[in-house]
Amino acid sequence: MHIPDGYLDLRICILFYVLSGAYIIFSTWRAGRLFGDLHIPLFATLSAFIFAGQLLNWPIPGGTTAHFTGGSLAGILLGPFGGASAMAVVLVVQALVFGDGGILALGANLWNMAVIAPLTGFITYVVLGKIFGRSGALAGAFLGGWLGAVLASLFAGLQLGLSAIFLYPITITVPAMVFYHLGFGLIDGLVNIGVLMYIMRYHPHILEIPKI
């Protein structure tokens, strides 16, 4: 999912630096206003968990690999803005310390994984949870994980297709990216359900922490 440097032209890189930068600055400002004592360990734990989850690449049938991306889980537990801040920490460390994802493409990667995925996870979890209760929340967590990964890949396809570096249009890049992530997204959905069931059973107070 991480776009390296060399895939996107400077125009797309700058556009997504501006969009993601504005969203992350607003998210950080909001988190700064609303973070309480309980948010602090959750923010650090969740960031470390997502970083570790992304380390593990699992082979899946068809010659591809997949890994947990975690953006939707961040949105479910911390809210769309708190989740964006946690994902921004993960993605910035990955790019600067490990060269995972480009420096010029960081704005685009932040948009896909720190903005779109947490927002999707938060919306599906809250909406289905409000309508159907506990089972709805679990279904929302699964749906948010899958849809968050698919929508993030859709945006990655758009960014690649709109880039002037190569000649393939978005009519090719978007289906190509989305096709692979229709399956990969299930990993995020399943991890979300597992984490949420564990939290509901052993640490239900975490779900009471206000979403930011």
Partner 1 sequence: MFRGLILTITAIVAAIIVLVPASSLLLETVGGSEGMNIVAEKMNLSEKSVYKAPFQDYTFPGLGEGVDASVVSGIVGVFVVAVLALALALVFKEGRSWFSRRA
Closer to partner 1 by CB, 130 or 203: give it.
Answer: 203
CB atoms < 10 A from the CB of 183, how many? 16
Among 14, 22, 44, 164, which residue sits at the site for partner 1 (rule: CB under 8 A)? 44
What is the footprint of partner 1 within residues 112-141 (CB under 8 A)? none
Cβ within 8 Å of residue 21, ≥6 positions away? 107
CB 105 within 8 A of CB 94: no
Contacts to partner 1 from residues 164-203, by CB under 8 A: 165-166, 168, 172-173, 176-177, 180-181, 184, 203
Q: Using the rule CB under 8 A, give the single segment among 1-9, 113-121, 124-132, 134-142 that binds partner 1.
A: 1-9
Name, in order, each residue with C-beta under 8 angstroms of 36's C-beta and a sequence gap of 6 or more: 209, 210
Q: How far is CA 198 from CA 125, 133, 182, 195, 203, in A?
A: 16, 17, 25, 5, 7
AA letter at 162: L
Please name the amino acid found at residue 203. H
Confirm or reject binding of residue 14 to partner 1 (CB under 8 A): no
Q: Which is nearer to partner 1, 99 or 133 (CB)?
A: 99
Residue 95 near partner 1 by CB under 8 A? yes
* Rounded CA separation 46/76 (Å): 11
Residue of 20, 24, 39, 117 that binds partner 1 (CB under 8 A): 39
Burial class (CB in 10 A: 0-12, 13-18, 19+), 37: exposed
- In the complex with partner 1, which residue's Cβ is closer, 123 or 174? 174
Residue 147 sits in the site that holds partner 1 (CB under 8 A)? no
Q: Which is nearer to partner 1, 71 or 102 (CB)?
A: 102
Residue 120 identity = T
Tell which one of 40, 131, 164, 197 touches partner 1 (CB under 8 A): 40
Contact residues for partner 1, defined by CB under 8 A: 1-7, 28, 31-33, 35-41, 43-45, 47-49, 51-52, 55-60, 63-67, 85-86, 89-90, 93-100, 102-104, 153, 156, 160, 165-166, 168, 172-173, 176-177, 180-181, 184, 203
